[in-house]
Amino acid sequence: MHSITAAILAANNEGEITDCLGSVAWADEVLVVLDTRSVDRTAALARDRGARVLPHLFHDFADQRNYALDQAGGEWVFFLDTDERCTPALAKELRTVVERADVDGWWIPRRNIIFGHEMRHGGWYPDCQLRLLRRACARYDRHRQVHEVVLLEGPAGYLSEPLIHYNYRDVAQFGAKQRQYVALEAQIRFHDGIRPRPWTYVLQPLREFWRRYVSLQGYRDGWHGLRLCALVAYHYGLLVTCRLGRLWRENKKGRG
């Protein structure tokens, strides 16, 4: 049988790590890549569950995942986050598909539980993620520091069983996570040469809200959909644009 390493990125996740590790106890190896800024009991709890814990200085998410690929012992690497759970049905499907020689990566759908409600629209389902990778054929694009992109040498397929993603408990947790993503996304756009214009500060949030709420039918999730689409538009429309504008102003001042 082909071996599978379950790889988890963690940082101050003591409230989630035990249940997450329990869901991948079936794997041949469990690897936790720990952000060295972590100060809680995440590492101790992971070791207690038999995981191999490797502290690694955080630069960006793509770098963390590439480090996991380098350190994993399995032929295949199954990535999941601490707020995700692998169901027994998904574990069985993973064990089955790694026996195929003609596919080097597998997309896995996710069921997103946000603010206690399962989101079915607005781009939140099926929300497929390329998470099962033949280690020798995969790297993460270093240019994409957030919402990472896999550079896969061979073909990829799609699984039917989903990951369960307990995404955000409340608005406060949503905002705390998005602040980190906003900074990284603005850096990516800055390096791509994207420059905000005065009208961008208004149009970009509106475009993002329209895309989520209307084009992707977020309205079908009712009040939950409206609130979430508005929050995403605020962070990925307005806050990213504001951060991007500040980067351009600082760059211009530095040249001056």
DSSP for 71-126, please give it: H--SSEEEEEETTEE--HHHHHHHHHHTT-SS-SEEEE-EEEEETTEEE-STT-SS
The pLDDT assigned to 256 comes to 59
The pLDDT assigned to 24 comes to 98
Residues of the chain with pLDDT under 70: 1, 145-146, 256
The pLDDT assigned to 176 comes to 85
Residue-range domain boundaries for the chain: 4-167, 170-255
Distance of CA 2 to the CA centre of its chain: 25
Q: List all residues 6 or more positions away from 245 whose beta carbon is below 8 Å from its beta carbon.
A: 196, 201
> Per residue in 155-213, pLDDT tens?
999 999 999 999 988 999 898 888 878 888 888 889 889 999 898 899 999 999 999 99
Q: How many CB atoms lie within 10 A of CB 49?
A: 15
Report the C-alpha gap between 127 and 225 in whole angstroms.
Answer: 15
Query: What phi and psi, each to the nearest 5 degrees, are found at residue 105?
Result: -160, 155
Model-level pTM greater than 0.75? yes
The pLDDT assigned to 73 comes to 96
| Burial of 239 from C-beta contacts in 10 A (0-12 / 13-18 / 19+) | buried
Q: What is the CATH number that goes with domain 4-167? A: 3.90.550.10
Rg (CA), the chain: 19
